[in-house]
Structure 1
Amino acid sequence: MPRETLSRDQIVRAAIDLLDSEGIDGLSMRRLGQRMGSAATAMYWHVGSKESLVVLAADEVWAELTFPDPVEIGWRAAARALVHDTYALGRRHPWLVPAISTHFVYGPGMAGFQEHSYAIYEAAGFTGRELDWAVNTTFTFVAGTLLADASQATLAEAQVPRGKGDEGPPQSVAEWAWAIASRYPRLRARIEDQQGADPASLAAEKFEFGVEAILDGLESRRAGRA
């Protein structure tokens, strides 16, 4: 596609597709140009650099969120909805949260998300530093869960590095970790209890427990202060 027929929006959308499938390490101007039938120089001409492109892609992704009104449905329902929607956003775009730690991915999209987060906990009655910490606590939980999900997905396919002279078939990291955990009775009991359960159902149950525990804690702190 000739440079003059490209637009920044087209490049950003194509970059999001590439990021979704390949992650940040898989994004390059050359690969993006190949996908779009254009030269890498055309990518640079429209977006400047890979760093700028990641920032633009992240801002476009944040804009996918819709914000429930805490006055209309109550602060807790609005907070629950935003936490679940943010988690779903991170699952659709698994590069987004890791990008926050490696790139300065800040723009109107993320600022709008933060603004609405403050509106929710302000509606709950939090002010000052406690308002900051309420917003931070819920976002940290979502980000941490997404990073843990990504780590588990990577480890599920990983194998334990083998030393020189090792014999026998390669051992998966999951098998290696189970061999260690099985020496400890509480760990063994919890792993055995979860064996055979649907991983997706377990993940959903775990996330729901965490969300409600946080909201219970904020509700209790709010009520105690009142």
Structure 2
Amino acid sequence: MPRDTLTRDQIIRTAIELLDAEGLEGLNMRSLGKRLNSAATAVYWHVKNKDNLVLLAGDQVWDEITLPDLRTVDWRTAGTSMAVDLYAMLGRHPWLVQAFGSHLFYGEGKARHDDHSLAVYEAAGFAGAQADQAAGAVFTFVLGNALSASAAASLTRRLSRDGGNAQELLQDTMTRATEIAMRFPRLRGRLETAGAADYAGAPEESFEFGLQALFDGLEDRLAARPAQGGAA
């Protein structure tokens, strides 16, 4: 595909597909050019370098999150919807979780999401820095929950690239981790109840439980403000 038929949108969409399949470590201009049926040099007419491409791809995926209409739903319903959508988006694009450690993301997609997130917590009754803190608490909770799946995807790809059987290597690691865990009473009790296969995973519905507990806490802070002279 000649450079004059390529568009930035095509490049970004294809980069997202490559990142989803191969992770951050699998993204390079040669592989991207091959997917685009174009020379790698043609890509540079539209993006500066790999880091710039990651930023562009990372910003576009934020548009996958639905922004609820605060005129039709209450703040907690809106906040829950956005958090669940964010969690699902990070699950579809686990490379983005990795990229947070090495890139500072910005752009219209993320800004639109962040602005609406602040609107949700302002609608709840938080103001100024408190709205930022509420939005940040929910965001970091979601990000933390997405980290495990992102790490597992990255590790599986790395083990596969190293020429080993990823499933066997992961199973061997879990066997050794289980042997150590059996020395501790609470972990041993969990293993005896849930089984070794579930040792590394959270119980079902843990994300939903934690998210609603977090919103309960935010509501409690709002309810307590009059008794504290308006302080949250």
Smaller-chain TM-score bracket: 0.7 to 0.9
Instruction: Tell me by how many angstroms 1:52 deviates.
Output: 1.1
Q: Which residue of 1 aligns with 2:128?
A: 128
Count of residues in correspondence between the two structures: 216
Shift of the 72–139 alpha-carbon distance from structure 1 to 2, 3 Å rule, reads: same
- Where does structure 2 lack aligned partners over 5 or more consecutive residues? 160-167, 227-232
Shift of the 127–206 alpha-carbon distance from structure 1 to 2, 3 Å rule, reads: same
Q: Which residue of 2 aligns with 1:165?
A: none
The question of 1:213 aligning with 2:199 is answered no
SS at match of 1:223: helix
Q: Which residue of 1 aligns with 2:45?
A: 45
Shift of the 198–70 alpha-carbon distance from structure 1 to 2, 3 Å rule, reads: farther
Q: Deviations over 1:103-144 (max 9, x none)?
A: 222101001111011011101101122211101100001111
Deviates more, 1:43-52 or 1:147-156: 147-156
Instruction: Tell me by how many angstroms 1:158 deviates.
Output: 8.9
Q: Deviations over 1:172-200 (max 9, x none)?
A: 1111111111100101112332238989x
CA distance in 1, matches of 2:156, 2:190: 18
The question of 1:117 aligning with 2:117 is answered yes
Q: Which residue of 1 aligns with 2:83?
A: 83
SS at match of 2:135: helix
1:181·1:187 contact (CA, 8 Å) conserved in 2? yes
Return structure 1 stretches of 4+ with deviation > 3 angstroms. 152-159, 196-199, 201-204
Q: Which residue of 2 aligns with 1:187?
A: 187
Question: Normalised by the size of structure 1, how large is the TM-score?
Answer: 0.87
The question of 1:68 aligning with 2:68 is answered yes
1:18·1:27 contact (CA, 8 Å) conserved in 2? yes
Instruction: Tell me by how many angstroms 1:87 deviates.
Output: 0.3
Amino acid at match of 2:149: D
CA distance in 2, matches of 1:140, 1:80: 14
Amino acid at match of 1:122: E
Instruction: Tell me by how many angstroms 1:156 deviates.
Output: 7.5
Instruction: Tell me by how many angstroms 1:73 deviates.
Output: 1.1
Q: Deviations over 1:19-74 (max 9, x none)?
A: 00001110000110011111110011111111111111111111121101234210
1:1-226 to 2 correspondences below 5 Å: 1-153=1-153, 172-195=172-195, 204-226=204-226
Question: Normalised by the size of structure 2, how large is the TM-score?
Answer: 0.85
Deviates more, 1:108-117 or 1:185-194: 185-194
CA distance in 1, matches of 2:49, 2:63: 21
